[in-house]
Copies of this chain bind each other. A is one copy, B any other.
Amino acid sequence: MTRNDIETLLKEIKNGQKSVDEGLEILKNFPYTDLGFARIDHHREMRTGYPEIVYCAGKTAEQVVEIFSVMSVKQSNVIGTRADEKMYKIVKKKLPDAAYYPVARIISIQKKKPSVPATRIAVITAGTSDMPVAEEASVTAELLGNNVLRIYDAGVAGIHRLVDKLPEIRTCRVIVVIAGMEGALASVVSGLVDIPVIAVPTSIGYGANFGGISALLAMLTSCSAGVTVVNIDNGFGAGFCASMINRMK
């Protein structure tokens, strides 16, 4: 509920259009549907313009289907992240509109197409193995209404593979850099452009990579101002934030 809604509600109570008890009821029941195991926040899309996001990994297929169904009734766009193919098939049976992006592991139901701004988001990876995380970022951004420039496998060990793409990168409004190992790509890219960089450490690598900690620490301690960081392998979060910035007016 927006501040306006609250003001309106208070006015209606003042005018006697609503009783105090009604007011309390509205404030309590409006924003979500309680499924017992989950509380769906219909309110969020109205408030933010973004669809509801469902993190599927910790949920049973049955729970995911039920959440998607409730949302579907309300004509919301839905994005389900970390969903495997098996979960998708169960959802698809019940909700034939559902689409699946296998590399990104995303289920999507899109009831209405979002508008797309003229500026773009660049999604750059250091290696081929970073692709699942990169696709999660790219598909998230696209579903939220953005055009994405994908540049994959441009690690610092062969920096010339990045340099020829710089003019195109410089036309973007925000950059997502995805790298495992030593995560140096975020610093290098940020040092070459003057655009906000959202860095995503990945768990790619072995030994002292420690499931992404090396890349995470490297990105946090980047000597190049202009880099902010999201969680290890959190392609979704990076795509979501990049969309927020790219769609800014």
Contact = CB atoms under 8 A, between A and B. Distances in A.
Contacts of A216: 207-208, 220
Considering residues A28, A173, A225, A233, which has the most beta carbons from chain B within 10 angstroms of its beta carbon? A225
A201 to B, nearest CB: 8
A55 B152 CA distance: 15
A207 B187 contact: no
Interface residues of A, number: 107
Interface string A141-179: 000000000001111111111001011001001000000
B14 A188 contact: no
A93 interface: no
Contacts of A153: 37-39
Contact of A207 (B190, B209, B221): B221
B240 A38 contact: no
A114 interface: no
Interface string A129-145: 10100000000000000
Contact of A187 (B43, B157, B170, B198): B157
A100 interface: no
Contact of A188 (B11, B13, B127, B159): B159
A207 B220 CA distance: 9
Contacts of A184: 156, 182-184, 187-188, 218, 223
A157 B207 contact: no
Interface of A: 1, 3, 7, 10-11, 13-14, 16, 19-20, 23-24, 27-29, 31-32, 36-39, 41, 43-44, 47-50, 53, 55, 57-59, 63, 126-129, 131, 152-161, 164, 166-167, 170, 173, 180-184, 187-188, 190-192, 194-196, 198, 201, 203-210, 212-234, 236-237, 240-241, 244-245, 248
Given A10-B23, A188-B188, 5 more contacts: A10-B10, A14-B16, A38-B153, A43-B160, A245-B248
